[in-house]
Structure 1
Amino acid sequence: MKPFIPVVRALILEDDRILLLKRSASSRTNPGLWELPGGKLLNGETLDEALKREVYEETGLIVSPIRVIGAFQQDFPFKVSVNIIFHVKVEDGILSLSDEHEAYKCVRIWEIGNLKVSPWLSDFKESLDGSKNII
């Protein structure tokens, strides 16, 4: 049986646009695909702590979680990733990418369908279709 790995993701929403990051082409998981900022928990971290750390490491932004807005699973040959998506508030910082990502975009929900995204993000987008309020 493959292990389930919890992953926290941040929905950063500004002016009806969502911040997406493009994984580097050399990434072990989801290379070249678009996703929300976030990542795996370190040993002993709470969801909040991991979310703040991962978003800061990947974007240079300081965020605080507002609420959980969804959870989506992605199967890999070696693990199952459970992506827990938080709506967050940006408190401070200047957007700058880590080596894990090669680009960023701010897009509207409907534009996600025009991008090559991680499978879990596609599932998340489908859950939002037809919804006027995502948060």
Structure 2
Amino acid sequence: MWGLTVRGICEVNGKILLLKVRSKSSHDANRWEIPGGKVKKGEFFDDALRREYLEETGLEITIESLYNTIQNNYTACKTNEQIKSIQLIMKVTSRSDEVKISEEHDEYGWFSKDEVYRMIDENLLSKAAMNAFKKNKEL
């Protein structure tokens, strides 16, 4: 089965927003990820990204451009089905940096580009986030 996921890299004052996946998650627990999520059936991906961003961070975003595309394969938690997910990684902006995270995440942080690269080296990012940043060397 194939799925579509959208994620948004938001940079405010030279810092990039990342969310820490909750410790009880079956996927990427305690790793940092780019905010976003699955596109629902019949939903436009830009609407999905704005919805997911608001749900996960409380931020209203504007989508600026395509940053990267990656494929991220995983096993569905509820059905054990193998999913091949195409992920659209977008550059987004927000007028605010006041984040209110959902229960899906334990914490959030604004990180410099150097800190993000260090997190990649230390294997602290989710697989999808690591692939998104590695494939496009220019943050």
Whole-Å separation in 2 of the counterparts to 1:95 and 1:118: 20
Check if 1:107 corresponds to 2:107: no
RMSD of Structure 2 on Structure 1 (CA): 1.7
Structure-to-structure mapping, 1:59-74, within 5 angstroms: 59-74=57-72
8 Å CA contact 2:23, 2:29 repeated in 1: yes
Give the SS at the match of 1:69.
strand
Moved over 3 A (4+): 91-94
Q: How does the TM-score come out when normalised to structure 2?
A: 0.84
May I ask how many residue pairs the two structures share in their alignment?
Answer: 129
Q: How does the TM-score come out when normalised to structure 1?
A: 0.86
Give 2:2's aligned residue.
4
Percent of residue pairs bearing the same amino acid type: 28
Give 2:36's aligned residue.
38
Whole-Å separation in 2 of the counterparts to 1:70 and 1:13: 15
Paired letter, 1:43: K
Whole-Å separation in 2 of the counterparts to 1:92 and 1:103: 17
Whole-Å separation in 2 of the counterparts to 1:79 and 1:90: 31
Check if 1:117 corresponds to 2:121: no
8 Å CA contact 1:113, 1:122 repeated in 2: no
Whole-Å separation in 2 of the counterparts to 1:28 and 1:52: 25
How far apart are residue 74 of structure 1 and its match?
A: 1.6
How far apart are residue 30 of structure 1 and its match?
A: 1.5
How far apart are residue 92 of structure 1 and its match?
A: 5.5
Give 2:78's aligned residue.
none
8 Å CA contact 2:57, 2:101 repeated in 1: yes
Deviations 1:1-40 (A, max 9, x none): xx22111001100122100000101123222110111000
Whole-Å separation in 2 of the counterparts to 1:42 and 1:128: 27
Deviations 1:47-76 (A, max 9, x none): 111000000000000112111111112221
